[in-house]
Protein backbone atom coordinates (compact mmCIF):
# COMPACT_ATOMS: atom_id res chain seq x y z
CA UNK A 1 0.00 0.00 0.00
CA UNK A 2 1.41 3.38 -1.02
CA UNK A 3 0.84 5.93 1.74
CA UNK A 4 2.37 8.85 -0.12
CA UNK A 5 1.04 12.36 0.31
CA UNK A 6 1.49 15.12 -2.26
CA UNK A 7 1.61 18.78 -1.30
CA UNK A 8 1.78 21.66 -3.76
CA UNK A 9 3.43 25.01 -3.18
CA UNK A 10 2.78 27.98 -5.43
CA UNK A 11 5.57 30.49 -5.92
CA UNK A 12 5.11 33.77 -4.07
CA UNK A 13 7.80 36.41 -4.55
CA UNK A 14 7.22 38.13 -1.20
CA UNK A 15 7.38 34.84 0.72
CA UNK A 16 10.55 33.82 -1.11
CA UNK A 17 12.25 37.13 -0.19
CA UNK A 18 11.19 36.71 3.45
CA UNK A 19 12.45 33.12 3.58
CA UNK A 20 15.82 33.96 2.03
CA UNK A 21 16.28 37.05 4.22
CA UNK A 22 15.47 35.02 7.32
CA UNK A 23 17.87 32.24 6.31
CA UNK A 24 20.71 34.70 5.67
CA UNK A 25 20.25 36.27 9.10
CA UNK A 26 19.92 32.84 10.73
CA UNK A 27 23.10 31.58 9.07
CA UNK A 28 25.15 34.67 9.98
CA UNK A 29 23.98 34.96 13.60
CA UNK A 30 26.97 33.04 14.93
CA UNK A 31 29.41 34.98 12.75
CA UNK A 32 28.00 38.33 13.88
CA UNK A 33 28.56 37.36 17.51
CA UNK A 34 32.20 36.65 16.63
CA UNK A 35 32.45 40.01 14.86
CA UNK A 36 31.08 41.80 17.93
CA UNK A 37 33.68 40.08 20.13
CA UNK A 38 36.47 41.03 17.73
CA UNK A 39 35.26 44.66 17.73
CA UNK A 40 35.21 44.66 21.53
CA UNK A 41 38.78 43.31 21.69
CA UNK A 42 39.83 45.88 19.11
CA UNK A 43 38.52 48.74 21.24
CA UNK A 44 40.07 47.24 24.37
CA UNK A 45 43.50 46.82 22.75
CA UNK A 46 43.34 50.32 21.26
CA UNK A 47 42.57 51.84 24.65
CA UNK A 48 45.25 49.91 26.53
CA UNK A 49 47.85 50.36 23.79
CA UNK A 50 47.36 53.99 22.78
CA UNK A 51 45.59 55.91 25.55
CA UNK A 52 48.01 56.98 28.27
CA UNK A 53 46.50 55.70 31.49
CA UNK A 54 48.19 57.11 34.57
CA UNK A 55 46.65 54.48 36.85
CA UNK A 56 48.00 51.61 34.76
CA UNK A 57 51.59 52.14 33.70
CA UNK A 58 52.38 49.24 31.37
CA UNK A 59 55.59 50.65 29.94
CA UNK A 60 56.93 48.55 27.04
CA UNK A 61 54.04 46.07 27.33
CA UNK A 62 51.77 48.67 25.72
CA UNK A 63 53.65 48.03 22.45
CA UNK A 64 52.25 44.48 22.44
CA UNK A 65 48.75 45.91 22.84
CA UNK A 66 49.38 48.33 19.95
CA UNK A 67 50.37 45.51 17.61
CA UNK A 68 47.46 43.44 18.90
CA UNK A 69 45.13 46.35 18.17
CA UNK A 70 46.28 46.45 14.54
CA UNK A 71 45.76 42.71 14.23
CA UNK A 72 42.24 42.99 15.67
CA UNK A 73 41.42 45.96 13.42
CA UNK A 74 42.42 43.84 10.43
CA UNK A 75 40.49 40.80 11.67
CA UNK A 76 37.34 42.84 12.38
CA UNK A 77 37.62 44.48 8.96
CA UNK A 78 37.93 41.07 7.31
CA UNK A 79 34.83 39.77 9.13
CA UNK A 80 32.82 42.84 8.15
CA UNK A 81 33.99 42.55 4.54
CA UNK A 82 32.92 38.89 4.45
CA UNK A 83 29.54 39.71 5.97
CA UNK A 84 28.69 42.54 3.58
CA UNK A 85 30.10 40.65 0.59
CA UNK A 86 28.03 37.60 1.46
CA UNK A 87 24.95 39.76 2.01
CA UNK A 88 25.32 41.34 -1.43
CA UNK A 89 25.97 37.96 -3.08
CA UNK A 90 22.93 36.41 -1.35
CA UNK A 91 20.75 39.33 -2.45
CA UNK A 92 21.90 38.96 -6.07
CA UNK A 93 21.41 35.17 -6.05
CA UNK A 94 17.94 35.53 -4.53
CA UNK A 95 17.01 38.14 -7.12
CA UNK A 96 18.26 35.87 -9.93
CA UNK A 97 16.40 32.89 -8.45
CA UNK A 98 13.15 34.87 -8.25
CA UNK A 99 13.61 36.18 -11.80
CA UNK A 100 14.15 32.60 -13.01
CA UNK A 101 10.94 31.54 -11.27
CA UNK A 102 9.03 34.39 -12.91
CA UNK A 103 10.27 33.31 -16.37
CA UNK A 104 9.05 29.76 -15.86
CA UNK A 105 5.50 29.02 -16.86
CA UNK A 106 5.27 26.30 -14.20
CA UNK A 107 5.67 27.99 -10.82
CA UNK A 108 4.45 25.02 -8.77
CA UNK A 109 6.71 23.13 -6.41
CA UNK A 110 5.72 19.70 -5.23
CA UNK A 111 6.49 17.82 -2.03
CA UNK A 112 5.90 14.07 -1.97
CA UNK A 113 5.92 12.43 1.44
CA UNK A 114 6.48 8.68 1.62
CA UNK A 115 7.04 6.53 4.73
CA UNK A 116 10.61 5.86 3.56
CA UNK A 117 11.57 9.13 1.80
CA UNK A 118 10.71 12.70 0.94
CA UNK A 119 10.85 14.28 -2.51
CA UNK A 120 10.96 18.02 -3.10
CA UNK A 121 10.41 18.98 -6.73
CA UNK A 122 10.80 22.56 -7.94
CA UNK A 123 10.64 23.74 -11.54
CA UNK A 124 14.45 23.55 -11.58
CA UNK A 125 15.40 20.48 -9.52
CA UNK A 126 14.09 17.33 -7.91
CA UNK A 127 15.65 16.16 -4.65
CA UNK A 128 14.72 12.83 -3.10
CA UNK A 129 16.12 11.82 0.26
CA UNK A 130 15.57 9.03 2.74
CA UNK A 131 14.41 10.03 6.21
CA UNK A 132 17.66 8.92 7.86
CA UNK A 133 19.47 11.73 6.05
CA UNK A 134 16.77 14.31 6.72
CA UNK A 135 16.63 16.72 9.66
CA UNK A 136 14.36 19.59 10.57
CA UNK A 137 14.46 22.59 12.83
CA UNK A 138 11.71 25.02 13.84
CA UNK A 139 12.91 28.60 14.25
CA UNK A 140 10.21 31.18 14.94
CA UNK A 141 7.62 30.69 12.19
CA UNK A 142 10.07 28.94 9.84
CA UNK A 143 10.57 25.23 9.24
CA UNK A 144 14.10 24.49 8.05
CA UNK A 145 14.26 21.13 6.31
CA UNK A 146 17.81 19.82 5.87
CA UNK A 147 18.42 17.00 3.42
CA UNK A 148 21.36 14.87 2.26
CA UNK A 149 23.47 15.08 5.40
CA UNK A 150 23.02 18.84 5.88
CA UNK A 151 23.96 19.76 2.32
CA UNK A 152 20.61 21.06 1.06
CA UNK A 153 18.19 23.21 3.03
CA UNK A 154 14.61 24.25 2.32
CA UNK A 155 12.69 26.88 4.25
CA UNK A 156 8.92 26.61 4.62
CA UNK A 157 6.30 28.74 6.34
CA UNK A 158 2.64 28.11 6.99
CA UNK A 159 1.30 30.78 4.55
CA UNK A 160 2.90 28.90 1.62
CA UNK A 161 0.51 25.98 2.03
CA UNK A 162 -3.20 25.50 1.57
CA UNK A 163 -5.43 24.81 4.58
CA UNK A 164 -3.94 21.99 6.72
CA UNK A 165 -1.11 20.97 4.37
CA UNK A 166 1.55 22.66 6.53
CA UNK A 167 0.37 20.67 9.55
CA UNK A 168 0.45 17.49 7.45
CA UNK A 169 4.04 18.25 6.37
CA UNK A 170 5.09 19.09 9.91
CA UNK A 171 3.49 15.94 11.35
CA UNK A 172 5.10 13.76 8.70
CA UNK A 173 8.52 15.33 9.20
CA UNK A 174 8.30 15.07 12.99
CA UNK A 175 7.31 11.42 12.71
CA UNK A 176 9.98 10.25 10.24
CA UNK A 177 12.97 12.63 10.35
CA UNK A 178 15.29 13.83 13.11
CA UNK A 179 15.06 17.12 14.96
CA UNK A 180 18.23 19.24 14.86
CA UNK A 181 19.55 20.69 18.06
Cα separation, 102 vs 39, whole angstroms: 42
Element (H, E) at 155: strand 152-157
pLDDT tens-digit readout, 23-74: 999 999 988 899 999 999 999 988 888 777 666 666 777 788 888 999 999 9
Angle between helices 13-50 and 61-103 (to 10 degrees): 170
Name the pTM for this structure: 0.77
Closest CA to 176 of 129, 128, 134, 121: 134
pLDDT tens-digit readout, 117-134: 999 998 888 899 999 999
Q: Where are the alpha helices (DSSP H) in 13-56?
A: 13-50
Fold classification of 5-10+107-179 (topology level):
PH-domain like (2.30.29)
Write the CA distances from 156 to 3, 18, 31, 178, integer angstroms: 22, 10, 24, 17
Mean pLDDT value across residues 131-146: 92
Residue 60 CB-density burial (10 A; 0-12 exposed, 13-18 middle, 19+ buried): exposed
DSSP E strand stretches across 4-151: 5-10, 108-113, 117-121, 126-130, 135-139, 142-147
Amino acid sequence: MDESIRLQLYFNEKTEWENQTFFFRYTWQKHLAETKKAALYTVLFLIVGFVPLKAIDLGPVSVIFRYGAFIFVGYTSLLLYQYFGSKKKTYNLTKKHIDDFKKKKDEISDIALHPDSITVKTPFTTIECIWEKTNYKLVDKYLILTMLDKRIKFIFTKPEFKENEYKTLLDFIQQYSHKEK
